Structure 1
Amino acid sequence: MRLSNRSKTSFYNFINTLLIMMVVFGIIGFLANDYRFHALGNESYLMVIIPVLLLIFFFLNGRQIFEYDSDGEALHFKNRNIIPFLSKALHDEFPKYKLIKYDVVSIFFIKRLYITVSSKNNGSTILKYQISYLTRKEVNDLKLSLNKVVKTNKEKKD
């Protein structure tokens, strides 16, 4: 099964650009009000604070692009940001039989995928992916696919 939200990259770029423009125009509006017009009192700080908080929220939600591929004998995970220099892209590939378990943790708007993989050195390794920008259907499809792999692995062990 393949799952990707790469087609939404242009939408995420638009939102990012819009938020940056809101911050810039908020700063310009704040400075114009503070030095020239004096129309707003302390409320003028909101012209800067609200866009900055929205921008921070956008990036704290995690990497925007998530790709998953379970075709063949290996599992492929890719997780990257729309702006490449903000965070390092994650790319992992391992055989299906190494998957032990997975967890999807959802707190408010933030969703994380934790994959536990068996390894030679220390027994198991936990891989973390940010899946906040996946839709509910995409998350359910991902869970279904990973459930199949985990179930197959448990049957082979028994």
Structure 2
Amino acid sequence: MRLSNRTKAPIYNFINTLLLLMLLGGIIGFIMEHYKFRILGGVSYLLIIVPLLLLVLYYINGRQIFEYDSDGEALHLKNRNIVPFLNKPLSDEFPKYKLMKFESVSLLFIRRLYITISSKNNGSTILKYDISYLTQKEVNDLKLSLNKVIKANKERRH
């Protein structure tokens, strides 16, 4: 099964650009208010704080682009940000038989996927992915596919 939200990258770029422009407009508005108009008073700090808070929330939410491919004998997982220099992109590929378990954690608007794979050195390794920008249907499809792989692994072991 293949799952990707790569086609939504222009939307994420637009939101990113809009938030940056809001911040720039807020900074210009604050400077104009502080030195020229003096209408808003202490509320003028909100011109910078609100866009900055929205931008920080957008970036805290995680990497925007998530790709998953379970076709063949290996699982391919990729997670990257639309702004290339912001976060290091994650790209993992491992055989299906190494998948031990997975867990999806949701906190408010932030969703993470934790995948545990077997490893020769440590016994197991946990891989972390941001899936906040996936729709609920995509998350359910991802869970269904991973459950199928785990079920097949259990049947092979027995």
Normalising by the residue count of structure 1, what TM-score does the alignment of the two structures yield? 0.99
Q: 1 CA distance for matches of 2:150 and 2:130?
A: 20
Q: 2 CA distance for matches of 1:43 and 1:138?
A: 41
Consecutive unaligned residues of structure 2, counting only runs of 5 or more, are: none
Q: 1 CA distance for matches of 2:121 and 2:38?
A: 65
Q: 1 CA distance for matches of 2:154 and 2:116?
A: 14
* Corresponding residue number in structure 2 for 1:18: 18
* Corresponding residue number in structure 1 for 2:130: 130
User: How far does residue 140 in structure 1 lie from its aligned partner after superposition?
Assistant: 0.2
* Corresponding residue number in structure 1 for 2:83: 83
Identity of aligned residues (%): 70
* CA deviation profile, 1:63-88 (whole Å, cap 9, x unmatched): 00000000000000000000100010
* Corresponding residue number in structure 2 for 1:41: 41
* Corresponding residue number in structure 2 for 1:157: 157
User: How far does residue 45 in structure 1 lie from its aligned partner after superposition?
Assistant: 0.5
Q: 1 CA distance for matches of 2:19 and 2:71?
A: 37
Give the count of matched residue pairs: 158
Consecutive unaligned residues of structure 1, counting only runs of 5 or more, are: none
* Runs of 4+, deviation exceeding 2 Å: none
Q: 2 CA distance for matches of 1:38 and 1:127?
A: 52
**Root mean square deviation of aligned Cα:** 0.4
User: How far does residue 112 in structure 1 lie from its aligned partner after superposition?
Assistant: 0.3
Alignment partner of 2:92: what SS? strand
Alignment partner of 1:3: what SS? strand
Q: 2 CA distance for matches of 1:70 and 1:27?
A: 46
